[in-house]
Structure 1
Amino acid sequence: MRDIQMVLERWGAWAANDSSGVDYSHIAAGFKGLLPPTTRARISCTDDDALIIEGCLARLQKKKPYEHSLLVAHYLYGISKRKIAKARKKDEKLIRIEIQMAEGFIDGCLSMLEVQLEMDAEVNGEYAA
């Protein structure tokens, strides 16, 4: 079973890297002023893995743009679920559920594609000998 949160964390680090070639607005819609002022070193995924994940995120954005924006805010920009809830004037529990549903969509999309990500061994706690 794939740890989708760790997969998305690594995708977020990849997308945040200026050399990724993917252009995300530096101010997430509705989250101006919430971005952390400093950046920290984050473990990234490979370009191949990231492009597969990008495809799944594009499907999510087409079907449910709101949930896509939650994943981008949380995993790309590192905005906490609490701050997202405050900015959206929603209960934090509801934001957590919505993010969980979006994570499930991405996980399901990856499962349907039947792809093996290069990071799977690392995010699942398995290491090649």
Structure 2
Amino acid sequence: MRDIQLVLERWGGWAASDNSGIDYSPIAAGFKGLLPQTGKNRLSCTDDDALVIEGCMARLKNKKPYEHSLLVAHYFYDVSKRKIAKAKKKDEKLIRIEIQMAEGFIDGCLAMLDVRLDMDEEVSA
């Protein structure tokens, strides 16, 4: 079984890198002024893995744009759940639940596709 949080963390590192070709608006989802300007190195995944995850993220965006925005804020922009909760004026516990639901969607999508990711050996429990 995959550790979906580690999978999404690696996807976020890939998407945030300059050579990914993926562009997310820094003011999307009401996070203007909240996003850190860091240049730290992050774990990343292969292009093949990232494109599969991007497909799942696109499905999530079509079905639940709000949950998609939470995953982008947390995994792409590396914004803490606490800061997201403060920006959304919601209880942190509720934000954690909403992010877990979005993570579950991505995990289920990957399971339905029945694909083997290059990072599977490193993120399996």
Same fold (TM over 0.5): yes
Q: Tell me whether 33-42 or 98-107 shows the greater mean CA deviation.
A: 33-42
Deviation by residue 1:62-87 (Cα, 9 ceiling, x = unmatched): 00000000000000000000000000
> Using the alignment, how far apart are the partners of 1:121 and 1:85 within structure 2?
33
Structure 1: which 5+ residue stretches go unaligned? none
- How many positions carry a matched residue from both structures? 125
Supply the AA of the counterpart residue of 1:34: L
> Using the alignment, how far apart are the partners of 2:29 and 2:17 within structure 1?
19
The SS at the match of 2:11 is: helix
Q: Which residue of 1 aligns with 2:38?
A: 38
Q: Which residue of 2 aligns with 1:63?
A: 63
Q: Which residue of 1 aligns with 2:11?
A: 11
How far has the Cα of 1:40 moved from its partner?
1.1
Q: Which residue of 1 aligns with 2:93?
A: 93
Q: Which residue of 2 aligns with 1:111?
A: 111
CA RMSD of aligned residues (A): 0.9
Deviation by residue 1:36-64 (Cα, 9 ceiling, x = unmatched): 13221111000000000000000000000
> Using the alignment, how far apart are the partners of 1:27 and 1:118 within structure 2?
32
> Using the alignment, how far apart are the partners of 1:13 and 1:89 within structure 2?
27
Matched, 1:50 2:44: no
Q: Which residue of 2 aligns with 1:102?
A: 102
Alignment of 1:19-34 (within 5 A): 19-34=19-34
Structure 2: which 5+ residue stretches go unaligned? none
Could you tell me the percent identity over the aligned residues?
79
